[in-house]
């Protein structure tokens, strides 16, 4: 119960604390924001950095005056943060969970660094998503939107929700769907100009400066993981673009400023496992943001890696294996 409350609080914090860019995505996610019904004014104005700061200030103040404390959120309970708090006895199970989550992230981080020491063609980036741990919060969706500066209609990692059964025996299942980074990717072979290709480390990338925008690859992807950048903005129909829309996307380690007629507008876009972060020694944004700590990442060519442990746990499946695409995203069921 306590864990759940703290998670909910954390969620609330996340939802409020993500940069303003996320707001567009989050609104669209709940169906509020359609292409033609944009809100008249941005509900979250200002500089994202400053905004995030305000959130933390406010949280600290609430904690200090006790106004927000039925079950206080200790920094120690946040996944991947500092050590156990003073009230260790009562919080022991929570702390243990938090510790293991922290350990998971730290371990993956270390493995990432280790993999980066190897030549690029000896790594095989792989993702594992634990469907029993995913709580369907869509924080990864939003984090990805923020990280890659994705415009409306471009969603690299939606979370598919599935509801089964009838009351009172009902259950919901959540399935995040990034690009599977197929080892035999049908999107690569169809591309008429070779703009889509598979890197030596297995990540399937789009060369924005080469893609002619024919959208053949969208039809060929069995997982619906490709999106066309129609050139739309969250602030269409309002007097000006917001700073988060002007800021360039860091994809592929370059600065892509969206502008009419300029790449990546008019291109097909897709999840690339946050390649720009990987190459900087960071885990993908969806992994570090995952509230349920359900997303794992690592090098499948490393026999001792966490992902290898999970893949061989007997719980791992892949989507549409019958297509022969050999996905590098595994799901634990």
Partner 1 sequence: MRVAGARRQTMVPMVLALLWVVALAAGAVGVVQRLMTGHELSGYTSTIPWGLWVAAYVYLIGLSAGAFLLSTLIYVFGVRRLEPVGKLALFTALVCLLAALLAIWMDLGHMGRFYEVYTRGNPRSMMAWMVWLYTAYSVLLVAELWFALRGDLLARSAQPGFRGRLAASLLGRFGEAFAPSRGTAGDPDYDATADLRVVRVLGAVGVPLAIAFHGGVGALFGVVGARGFWNAPLYPLMFLVGALVSGGGLLTFIVAFFWPERDGERHRDVVSLLGRITLGLLALYALMVWAEYSITLYAAIPASSRPLYQVLGGPYPWVFWVFQVLLGTLVPAVILLARPRSVGWVGTAAFLVAASFLATRLNIVIPGLVEPQLPGLDRAYIDSRLTYQYFPSVMEWLVLIFVAAVATGLFYAGFRGLPLVVGRKEVSS
Residues that bind partner 1 (CB under 8 A): 28-31, 33-36, 141, 152-155, 158-162, 175, 177, 186, 189-195, 210-216, 218-224, 226-232, 260-261, 263, 265-268, 319-320, 323
Of 190 and 316, nearer to partner 1 (C-beta) is 190
> How far apart are the C-alpha atoms of 308 and 115, rounded to whole Å?
13
> How far apart are the C-alpha atoms of 136 and 129, rounded to whole Å?
12
186 is a site residue for ligand SF4 (CB under 6 A): yes
> How far apart are the C-alpha atoms of 285 and 143, rounded to whole Å?
6
Of 216 and 252, nearer to ligand SF4 (C-beta) is 216
- With contact defined as beta carbons under 8 Å apart, do 191 and 174 qualify? no
- With contact defined as beta carbons under 8 Å apart, do 290 and 302 qualify? no
160 is a site residue for ligand SF4 (CB under 6 A): no
Of 154 and 225, nearer to ligand SF4 (C-beta) is 225
Q: Beta partners for 160?
A: 175
> What DSSP assignment string belongs to 107-152?
HHHHHHHHHHHS-GGG--EEEEEETTT-----HHHHHHHHHHT--T
Residue with tokens 């943001």: 289
Of 57 and 219, nearer to ligand SF4 (C-beta) is 219
Of 26 and 205, nearer to ligand SF4 (C-beta) is 205
Of 9 and 215, nearer to ligand SF4 (C-beta) is 215
- Which among ligand SF4, partner 1, none contacts residue 309 (Cβ within 5 to 8 A by kind)? none
Question: H helices within the chain, ranges in order?
Answer: 2-17, 20-29, 48-65, 92-117, 139-148, 186-190, 216-220, 243-246, 275-278, 285-289, 306-311
- Which among partner 1, ligand SF4, none contacts residue 204 (Cβ within 5 to 8 A by kind)? ligand SF4
> Contact region for ligand SF4 (CB under 6 A) — 113-121, 131-139, 149-157, 222-230?
222-230
- Which among ligand SF4, partner 1, none contacts residue 181 (Cβ within 5 to 8 A by kind)? ligand SF4
Cis ω for the linkage preceding 38 (within 30 of 0)? no
- Which among ligand SF4, partner 1, none contacts residue 185 (Cβ within 5 to 8 A by kind)? ligand SF4
> How far apart are the C-alpha atoms of 7 and 115, rounded to whole Å?
32
- Which among partner 1, ligand SF4, none contacts residue 179 (Cβ within 5 to 8 A by kind)? ligand SF4
Q: Min. distance of Cβ 333 from partner 1 in angstroms?
A: 15
Residues within the interface to ligand SF4 (CB under 6 A): 179-182, 185-187, 190-193, 195-196, 204, 206, 211-217, 221, 223, 225-226, 268, 270, 325
């Amino acid at each position: 119960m306590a864990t759940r409350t703290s998670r909910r609080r954390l969620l609330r914090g996340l939802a409020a604390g993500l940069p303003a860019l996320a707001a567009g995505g989050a609104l669209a996610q709940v169906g509020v924001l359609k292409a033609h019904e944009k809100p008249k004014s941005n509900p979250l104005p200002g500089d994202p950095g400053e905004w995030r700061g305000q959130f933390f200030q406010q949280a600290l103040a609430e904690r200090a005056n006790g106004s927000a404390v039925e079950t206080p959120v200790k920094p120690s309970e946040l996944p991947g943060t500092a050590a156990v708090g003073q009230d260790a006895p009562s919080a022991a199970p929570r702390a243990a969970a938090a510790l293991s989550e922290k350990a998971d992230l730290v371990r993956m981080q270390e493995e990432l660094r280790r993999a980066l020491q190897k030549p690029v063609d000896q790594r095989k980036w792989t993702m594992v998503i634990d469907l029993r741990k995913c709580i369907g919060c869509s924080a990864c969706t939003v984090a990805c939107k923020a990280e890659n500066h994705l415009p409306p209609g471009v969603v690299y990692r939606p979370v598919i929700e599935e509801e089964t059964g009838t009351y009172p025996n009902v259950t919901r299942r959540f399935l995040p769907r990034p690009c599977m980074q197929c080892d035999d990717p049908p999107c690569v072979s169809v591309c008429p100009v070779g703009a889509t290709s598979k890197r030596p480390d297995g990540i399937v990338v789009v060369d924005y400066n080469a893609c002619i925008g024919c959208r053949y690859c969208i039809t060929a992807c069995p997982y619906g993981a490709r999106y066309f950048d129609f050139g739309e903005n969250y602030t269409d129909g309002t007097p000006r673009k917001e700073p988060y829309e002007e800021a360039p996307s860091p994809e592929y380690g370059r600065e892509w400023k969206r502008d009419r007629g300029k790449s990546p507008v008019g291109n097909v876009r897709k999840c690339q496992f946050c390649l720009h972060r990987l190459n900087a020694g960071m885990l993908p944004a969806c992994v570090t943001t995952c509230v349920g700590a359900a997303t794992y990442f690592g090098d499948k060519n490393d026999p001792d890696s966490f992902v290898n442990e999970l893949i061989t746990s007997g719980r791992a499946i892949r989507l549409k294996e019958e297509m022969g695409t050999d996905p590098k995203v595994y799901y634990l069921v």
